[in-house]
Amino acid sequence: MNRNASRILIPAFLAVAILVVSLNAWLAFSSVKSLLDSEQLVEHTWQVILQVERIMSSAKDAETGNRGYLITGDDAYLEPFHVAKQELPGELEQFQKLTQDNPDQQARIVVMRAIVQARVSLLQQGIDLRRAKSTDDLHILVLSGTGKEEMDHLRTIADTMESEERGLLAVRTAAAQSA
C-alpha cells in the first residue's frame, strides 16, 4: 500500500469505527432506557393492583369491626372500623392519583368512592342504633340486605379494576421482556 493511500484509508477507517461505536452506544442506551421505562410501567401496574387490594381490605376491616360490635356491644371491636373509616379516603385518593392516565379507572373510582361512603355511613348507622339499644331498628337495618348489596357491588368494581390492571400487566410485562 502506498503512503498516500494509507493516509486516506486510516482516517476513513477510524471515522467508520468511531461511527460504528457511537451508533452501538446509542442503541445500547436506547435499549436500556426502553427497558427501564417498561419496568417502571410494570411496577406502576403492581402499585395500582396493590391499591385496589388495600381499599378492599380496609372495607372488609370496617365490616368486621362493625359486625363484632353489633354482636357483642363491646367498643373494642370498633377499632378496625375506626381505622378503616380514617384510612379509606386516602386510599381512594391514592388510587385516583395512580390511575389519572386511565379514564375507565377514573370513572370506576368515582362509583367506588360513593359506595364506600354509603357503606361506611350504613355501618355507622348500625353502630348508632346498637348504642341507642334500638334492637328492632337495628334488626330491620341488618335484614334489609343493603349492606350485602353494597359490598357485592364494591367487590364487582374492585374485580373489574384489578382485571383491567392485570391485562395491562400482561402487556407491559411482555414489553419489558422484549425490551
User: Which parts of the chain sit beneath pLDDT 70?
Assistant: 1-2, 5, 136-141, 143, 145, 179
Spatial distance between the Cα atoms of 15 and 86, rounded to a whole number of angstroms: 66
Amino acid letter, residue 151:
M
Tens-digit pLDDT profile for residues 103-145: 999 999 999 999 999 999 999 998 988 888 877 666 666 767 6
Residue 75: the pLDDT is 93
Residue 171: the pLDDT is 86
Looking at residue 78, the DSSP 8-state letter turns out to be G
Strand, helix or coil for residue 100:
coil
Spatial distance between the Cα atoms of 125 and 9, rounded to a whole number of angstroms: 89
Residues 39, 176 contacting (CB under 8 angstroms): yes
**What residues contact residue 134 under an 8 Å CB cut-off, 6+ apart?**
none
Residue 138: the pLDDT is 67
Residues 151, 119 contacting (CB under 8 angstroms): yes
pTM equals 0.78
Nearest to 79 by CA among 93, 94, 68: 68
Q: Which residue has the cell 401496574?
A: 45
